[in-house]
Every structure is written in C-alpha cells, then in structure tokens.
Amino acid sequence: MEPGAAELYDQALLGILQHVGNVQDFLRVLFGFLYRKTDFYRLLRHPSDRMGFPPGAAQALVLQVFKTFDHMARQDDEKRKKELEEKIRRKEEEAKAVAAASAEKEAVPVPVQEVEIDAAAEVEKLESPGPPGPEHKVAHGLEEAEAPGTLSSAPEGPKEPPVLPRIQEQFQKNPDSYNGAIRENYIWSQDYTDLEVRVPVPKHVVKGKQVNLSKVGEYWWSAILEGEEPIDIDKINKERSMATVDEEEQAVLDRLTFDYHQKLQGKPQSHELKVHEMLKKGWDAEGSPFRGQRFDPAMFNISPGAVQF
C-alpha cells in the first residue's frame, strides 16, 4: 500500500469502530470479513491447491503488519517526547531570562534629588505671627489627608481567580495536561495505558503532589471525574508508546524496510528472493526437465504469505 493511501479508508473504518464501540469487536469484524470473503484462513494442503496459505503463514503475515506499525508508533512517541522536552527547555530559558532582566532592573540605583533650603527664611516664617498662609494651609491639608481613618490607604479588594485554559490545543502545550486538561483544583494527563493527576497542596500537608494510575482497559479517557467537562479526544495525540524491540523483532523490521525499498524500485522482495533461490536449486537439479534452460524469476508470482521466515 502506497504511503498515505490508508487515509482513504479512515472514515469507513472509523464508522465501524464507532458502531461496535471497542477495539476487540472491531478486530472481530475485520477478521470475520477475511474469514467469510477471502481465502485468508484456507490452508494449502496439496501442491495442486491454488488458493490459501501454508500453515502458519497467515498468522505470520498479521504479526509482520502489526510490528511494522508498532515500530512506527515507537518512533513517533520518541519524537513527541523530544519535542516536549525541547518546549520545556525553551520555557525554562525564557523564565530565567525574564528573572535576570527583572533583577537587573531592580539593581539600578535611583538618583536622589538634592533640595537647597534657606534656613534663615524658614526660621523667620515660623517666628512671624499672623494667620497661616496658603502654603501652610496646603501642608495642613496634606497632614489631614494622611491622618488615620482616611481613605488614602484603603485595602485592596479580593483578587480575581486566574483564567483557566478551555480548549484542547491549550492543554496540549502543557506537559502536565498533555492529552488531559487543567481544572480548578487539579491537572491531569494520560497516555494509552496510564493516567497522571497533579493536585497542588501545601508543602506541610504532603510532599508528593502527583498521583499515577494504571488504566484497567486500554482506551482514551475524556474525563477523570463524573460531571467533569469532557475533553475533545479527537484533538489529543493518540500515538502509543511501546517497549523496545528485541533482536528477533528488529530483524523482522529490517526485512520489512528492505522489502519496502525493493518494492519502490520494482525489485523482488525478501520472500520472493527466498523462493527464487529454492526454485533455482530445483530447476538445475539432476533429473529436472528445466535443467540447462535459463531460469526466469518473472515466471513466478509469489504471495508474501507463501514463505515463513
């Protein structure tokens, strides 16, 4: 299948999945179709059989396809992890730069304005009788304004609560709410098998502020509490992280990669090369009616399930 061609069937497959409601029944539909409408489960028992697969070949074919996308999922997960780490690193650097700039600004000395005072004139004003002048009235007015009980230093009112993000794109930007949400009293995130809930509490109550939960079923959650506003699971990252492949799985993946490039170049794939090798030995064997003739691999159309690796 050419890259990108699978998306042509997404709507039809999504309709099936939504109808049955779970992955297990979805797979039953797919394999039921192969059972009823194809020769996928038919075994090649005699050399004259034209349809079917050798014993174990169908199962091996399914495993090969599964491991192909398993490998892709791990690569995508690693890429997403690196992107998140890079975002966190950039935010930390920006926060450090802002803090450094703020500290530098506070360290700048404020110049003090010097005022010359004519002491003799001030003494003369204080000793001279008479009604207070305008300057005295202004000063007295200031003194009255600063007296206790006035409104010059009224306390501030209650602060407005911070505005929480509401859309999934905003949640996806925060590693603590990735594939989850930010709520008033907690933040949660998830992957395919686990949930992580962060609850801010005072330091003297408990040291840990984080709860990790394992899902009983492997599916994506739209909320963690009843009555909570559900998230839009169509806008989360549904890539799955898998365990590291072993040597046997890596060998299969290498062969699949080789087959993919061979197919793009119009060359025989690994299963065809293996069959060609066996056929050529029989072709030139003692007593073969084809011995001495040119062996042409193009004479044979070999199914990928016809060979077990």
Is the pLDDT at 36 greater than 50? The verdict is: yes
| DSSP summary character for residue 43 | B
Q: Over the stretch 190-206, which tens digit does the pLDDT of each residue have?
A: 987 889 999 888 777 66
Tell me which residue of 172, 224, 174 sits closest to 197, measured CA to CA: 224
Angle at 75 between CA 238 and CA 3, to 5 degrees: 80
Q: What is the pLDDT of residue 142?
A: 38
Mean pLDDT of the chain: 75
Average pLDDT over every residue of 62-82: 89
Which two three-digit tokens encode residue 181? 């949400």
Residues belonging to the chain: 309
Which of the four pLDDT bands, split at 50, 70 and 90, describes residue 29? very high
pTM of the entire predicted model: 0.33
Burial class for 107, CB neighbours closer than 10 Å (0-12, 13-18, 19+): exposed
Question: CA-CA distance, 54 to 166, in Å (whole number)?
Answer: 55
Average pLDDT over every residue of 19-34: 90
Is the pLDDT at 141 greater than 50? The verdict is: no
Q: Which residues does 114 contact at the CB level (< 8 Å), separation at least 6?
A: none
Is the pLDDT at 68 greater than 80? The verdict is: yes
Is the pLDDT at 157 greater than 80? The verdict is: no
Average pLDDT over every residue of 157-168: 75
Is the pLDDT at 144 greater than 70? The verdict is: no
Q: Which residue has the higher pLDDT, 148 or 104?
A: 104
Q: Over the stretch 5-15, which tens digit does the pLDDT of each residue have?
A: 667 778 888 88
Is the pLDDT at 259 greater than 60? The verdict is: yes
Is the pLDDT at 284 greater than 50? The verdict is: yes
